[in-house]
Structure 1
Amino acid sequence: MEGWKRFLEERERRQLLRRLVPSSGRAPALAVRGGREYVDFSSNDYLGMSSHPVLVAAAREALDRYGVGSGASRLMSGDLAIHHELEDSVAVFKGSEAALVFNSGYQANTGIVPSLFGRRDAIFADQLCHASQLDGAILSRAKLLRFRHNDQEHLERMLVKHRGSFERALVMTESVFSMDGDLAPLAALLAACRRNRCLLMVDEAHATGVFGPQGRGCVEAEGLAGQVDLVMGTFSKALGGFGAYLAASRTVIDYLVNTARSFIYSTALPPPVIAANLAALRLCLSGETRGAELLRRADAFRGALRRKGWTVGGESQIVPVVVGESALAVSLSKSLAGQGFLALPVRPPTVPEGSARLRFSLTAAHTDRQVAAVVEALGAA
């Protein structure tokens, strides 16, 4: 009887998934774990571009032309014309003098900061900055000082108190915070930097492709393109590919080519990956992405959850449902999985103690029916 019961439950779950998933084409909103399919609310493929036919075709063409790998680091023989084409496109996309491509967001942040700052300098970082940003600060051996999350007044007081003790200083933030989904006050942070002789570094990993005209990011959306000193971002989230970039002045980029260890001592990204990244940027510049629509859907999702009594945060496609205790977050995630939804728990030390959560990532691949269904499922969890 127990085996028959499991069979009926599995059949009912699969029937639910078929009703929730679009009937045509591949469904990027699906994930498979242990041979089971789930509607995936934990992906960073925000625009569903990882399976976009234009990206797939570009990667396939590059594969046929260049082969699988680059064969060496950029400073040896792995430096191909297509790498420079991508960097030129990033500079146009972000409104900067130049750009440099790194192999991942982690390698970017841990390569850029130690190259530009050292023992006599200070780094002022938002308390919720990504681990890769903080690791970059630690590797630099600069003095690391952390200001309260999105609190520009606290930052200003810290700068007034400490800035004079150091040769150079950097203020570091994300534009869209990866675990909270909220937005940094970029204009206020930039003004504080200018008043106190600091550089500003903004990590646009979760904003690129979604925010701003043509998906250019929050820096562009706030009219600050060309003013922020260091703008870093990734291709691996909304743009559906892999790797990362820094947009900055030509002087900074040239300096990093010769000093950033994570750039110098890594084999160059494979040409098919570079080609897919280029195709993604072109799609953004052509206006064929769906960032504004995604943000409207996420806002409606937050409203639906709040009406159900959940504590919800974020101003972006990232929607955290904060439940407090880690055990409760794990239990809710397991309950949702039993109903066919993948929404993973996030617990300390990734988030502060007492703020364990389910981190929902909405994507353009989700249907309205899927979004409504997971709200109901969470209510029944």
Structure 2
Amino acid sequence: MVDIAAYLKRQQKDGRLRQLPELEHPDGGRVRLSAAGPDLLDFSSNDYLGLSRHPLPLVAAADALSRYGTGAGAARLMSGDFALHRELEAALARLKEQEAALLFGSGYLANVGLIPALVGRHDVIFGDRLNHASIHDGCQLSGARLHRFAHNDCNHLEDLIKRHRGGKEALIVVESLYSMDGDICPLAEVVALKERYGCRLLVDEAHATGLFGDNGAGLLAAEGLAHRVDLVMGTLGKALGSYGAYVAGEQRLVSFLLNRARSFIFSTALPPASTAAALAAVQLLADEPELRRELWRRVEIFKSGLTRGGIKAGLGPSQIVPLTVGDNQAALDLAQRLRQRGVYAAAVRPPTVPAGQARLRFSVTNHLDHDDLSAASAIIATELQKC
């Protein structure tokens, strides 16, 4: 039996004890640590395009709330199936250039449901070492033999496939954009390996959907690879500004998951208001491409400011900018100093990142204006020099 007191004490000593920050949210780009506290610039949000506060999703959610109530009331396979769910699934399938899509309660529920549905204890999984915890947990729940390859290393992936593929069902799992490092998967190489060795491929586009490609469909679409993957999943709670998740693929695979994925079968359906907001957000991706262009302008302003401030580390190709300090306590101290200067960014520590790689992870969003980003980047660069 776990010694709970000893565990908490050890977490505290190692600088790994997690506590809720108890934030107030005066608007989309600011947080407060108390009702009376000062506003802090929020660099921890994944609401990249600012759609959680956009008028169209707000109106759509309010209309669905008044028409259908606060919740779906049951699982989809009982009486919780709404026309809104089916409309959103159709819109997501079109966005992802797939035949069909299926909604899940969250990205975590999607990954822990669909991976065990696809493979079992006689099968094999090849996963990037930096895959999200939900992917890792889904792999563990499946009972399949998991082989993890060095991050974004396709030579290592191919070597593992050659040694362990055999005649078993084989699944490769990657993220198109990695949430803690902000870097991009070599998708074309992974797809080529999947095809060469007859594996199935699942790509998690949680942090890429809405931001990349002509219509915001994500990195697979941007690289012309959407039709060459088996399944793509993503969330509704990041760039789409709502809540929930989806998986998209061939109709037969989606029908299979509807019958097999336990986290779908046994979960209450998404609330109508969240579903309507996400549906409006998907439409906005096509109707307002300026939202994406404006985000990338903001990303450039932020990164340029860090570079001018003396940050020489590579700042990556995405809206996620990790600044690694290494030591857990050093990351906590840096986060505290930044809060005192009006910047909020959470310290990310193991097991979310590997041991010795504690960092602050900065997300650029459309909630932060150009002046905010310039001022914050100067503050961050100055404080980072003290680590």
Q: SS of 2:215's equivalent?
A: helix
Q: What is the one-letter code of the residue matched to 1:154?
A: H
TM-score for the superposition, normalised by structure 2: 0.89
Contact 1:100 1:246 in 2 (8 A): yes
Indicate the residue corresponding to 1:163 in structure 2: 165
**Do residues 346 (structure 1) and 348 (structure 2) align?**
yes
Contact 1:312 1:320 in 2 (8 A): no
**Whole-Å Cα distance in 1 between the matches of residues 220 and 191 of structure 2?**
10
- Structure 1 residue 290 displacement after superposition: 1.9
Q: Matches of residues 44-193 of structure 1 in structure 2 within 5 Å?
A: 44-164=46-166, 166-193=167-194
Distance 1:116 1:28, change over 3 A: same
TM-score for the superposition, normalised by structure 1: 0.90
Unpaired runs of 5+ residues, structure 2, are 1-25
Q: SS of 1:349's equivalent?
A: coil
Contact 2:315 2:321 in 1 (8 A): yes
**Whole-Å Cα distance in 2 between the matches of residues 303 and 127 of structure 1?**
30
Q: What is the one-letter code of the residue matched to 1:155?
A: L
Q: What is the one-letter code of the residue matched to 1:71?
A: G
Distance 1:379 1:253, change over 3 A: closer
**Do residues 228 (structure 1) and 218 (structure 2) align?**
no
Q: SS of 1:298's equivalent?
A: helix
Contact 1:182 1:314 in 2 (8 A): yes
Contact 1:102 1:108 in 2 (8 A): yes
- Structure 1 residue 300 displacement after superposition: 4.0
In the alignment of these two chains, the number of paired residues is: 355
Contact 1:123 1:172 in 2 (8 A): yes
- Structure 1 residue 288 displacement after superposition: 4.0
Unpaired runs of 5+ residues, structure 1, are 1-25
Q: What is the one-letter code of the residue matched to 2:30?
A: L
- Structure 1 residue 309 displacement after superposition: 3.2
**Do residues 202 (structure 1) and 190 (structure 2) align?**
no
Q: What is the one-letter code of the residue matched to 2:48?
A: Y
Contact 1:47 1:289 in 2 (8 A): no
Q: SS of 1:111's equivalent?
A: helix
Percent of aligned positions that are identical: 50
| Aligned Cα root-mean-square deviation (Å) | 1.3
Cα shift readout 1:86-126 (whole Å, capped 9, x = no counterpart): 11111111110100000100000000000110011111000
Q: SS of 1:215's equivalent?
A: coil
**Do residues 361 (structure 1) and 363 (structure 2) align?**
yes
Q: SS of 2:165's equivalent?
A: helix
Q: What is the one-letter code of the residue matched to 2:81?
A: D
